[in-house]
Structure 1
């Protein structure tokens, strides 16, 4: 995700649009707001930053003197709606709309008969997730839900994040789970802290490995994996084992025709779940898993995400109405 934190990656796409449509762009170095002007009409883009707090990470629009990471511009401050703030409301909406979601069960209900994880109804950045747990194992049977939590079927596959503007997908990332490969001699601790035998690019402290994920594979950090054994280290989209890659990881255009059709149908359906007063000119992301059969399983919706640089051309098209002007006339 390092690509998102570089303002030039965002400005380039805004500049591409401005040149194409004979518009001007200015950046206020004090507020970090961007102003786009075309044919006398002005659109102001508000910056977004990620800051670290005692309770975790949070977003802010304020360009202060503290240690924050830039993560894009939007034409509004903040928008919120129920499907993006309550994971269970999102799941129930998807079920009614015929969109695929992993099986789940609530407090007081039986655990899933599949491997599962534990999630809270609220939360972002992967906080508060426990598991995965092997179905029927002693560890799984000992799991007790706290108020506001639920069981969710653990689906293995690639982590996907889809950016949608005005109910249309504009970018997609698909990331494989980080892993290390055993050599039959060294422990996981030694492999993580001293070796490049894995998907990550620099040695990492052993305590960064997700211990529930290791236990799900019957391992811990002191286990010695067999020669050639691939050990998964995490399953979340944002992982400490992410490679430091600054290039764009958007793969939307590389998806199959059927996948792109599913993404368009999904984005349009979810957009209808946004209240009408909020729906127009709105960005959201969808977290999902793509399994080994290329099936998409939806996990949650985010109303205030990091902004993908690919968002700006469709964003400015709709804000200035040039997408409508380009449509065939009767």
Structure 2
């Protein structure tokens, strides 16, 4: 059985976790595996988080929506890279569809309140804030002249010149993009106004063309940094990738704004920190040197 688990984990790591870190032991990784576990820890530590529940029966999610209201987010209880996540969900029809699609990834599903705001990945390691990225869904910015089709080509050319591939993906023009644009009455021939930002997909993920921006850690208030460090301590981890949404932004005291901690990642994808679309990639070698000195147990066991 142990040998089988190692083979399975090796396959999972190769298929889905290329570029992810390996600096936590099995005990920590198990404690971070589901959204429910993270939410329980957040609640115990008074860390702001979304009201939500885990469900197998879809009617529990419908009842939750009636009690809490929209917008909501649906996501598998166990997943990564935003796979199977759907947001913002604004009505019951969208909710039913999202439940069905999310359950293709995992039978137990999360429904949570959704906050429109600034989305961050905060990596905390060895008791320090190691790196902070702001994450963006795929988009183009209009100039009043070029069509969305031309703007996509222009942006993809910039990404290629910056050598962001294959870590960052090109913007897409397929059915996924066309359907999403159509919801706003747009198509590839639409000419956005000057400085108008047009979303090409809702998901904040690298696969459909999302990008990241390096945030200067010096701009983050001490109270916010302390909160992130406390989360690392609560999970007794060497490193965590913490996903958080802040209404006003990470440079504002979290107590003075709406703020939702989403989940923690015990094997954060660190490769993307070297390939920001905006800002300068940081030299994280000091942090990596410290992490490499750790004696991690059961790295090959899921």
> TM-score, normalised to structure 2's length?
0.62
How many angstroms apart in 1 are the aligned matches of 2:39 and 2:216?
A: 24
How many angstroms apart in 2 are the aligned matches of 1:298 and 1:169?
A: 16
Go from structure 1 to structure 2 and tell me whether the alpha carbon gap of 1:225 and 1:84 turns closer, same or farther (over 3 Å shift): farther
The answer to whether the aligner puts 1:127 opposite 2:127 as a matched pair is no
Higher strand fraction (1 or 2): 1
- Superposed displacement of residue 241, structure 1: 2.5
Contact 2:82-2:203 within 8 A present in 1 as well: no
2:263 alignment counterpart:
300
Residues matched between the structures, number? 242
Q: Which has the higher Rg, Structure 1 or Structure 2?
A: 1
Q: What root-mean-square deviation, in Å, do the aligned CA atoms of Structure 1 and Structure 2 show? A: 4.0
How many angstroms apart in 2 are the aligned matches of 1:79 and 1:174?
A: 29
TM alignment of 1:27-176, pairs within 5 A = 53=15, 57-59=16-18, 74=23, 80-107=28-55, 108=60, 109-111=63-65, 112-134=68-90, 136=91, 138-140=93-95, 143-144=98-99, 146=103, 147-176=107-136
How many angstroms apart in 1 are the aligned matches of 2:31 and 2:179?
A: 28
Q: 1:205 aligns with which of 149, 162, 172?
A: 172
- Superposed displacement of residue 222, structure 1: 5.3
Contact 2:133-2:214 within 8 A present in 1 as well: yes
Go from structure 1 to structure 2 and tell me whether the alpha carbon gap of 1:226 and 1:165 turns closer, same or farther (over 3 Å shift): closer
> TM-score, normalised to structure 1's length?
0.57
Higher helix fraction (1 or 2): 2
1:181 alignment counterpart:
141
How many angstroms apart in 2 are the aligned matches of 1:162 and 1:140?
A: 29
**Greater RCO (CA < 8 Å, at least 6 residues apart):** 2
How many angstroms apart in 2 are the aligned matches of 1:211 and 1:302?
A: 32
2:226 alignment counterpart:
264
How many angstroms apart in 1 are the aligned matches of 2:131 and 2:87?
A: 29
- Superposed displacement of residue 208, structure 1: 8.0
Moved more, 161-170 or 113-122: 161-170
1:222-271: per-residue Cα shift (whole Å, max 9, x none)? 5836524322234424344256x9xxx653533232xx322323322442
1:231 alignment counterpart:
198
Question: Which ranges in structure 2 are unaligned for 5 or more consecutive residues?
Answer: 1-9, 161-169, 274-283, 296-302
Contact 1:162-1:287 within 8 A present in 2 as well: yes
1:285 alignment counterpart:
241
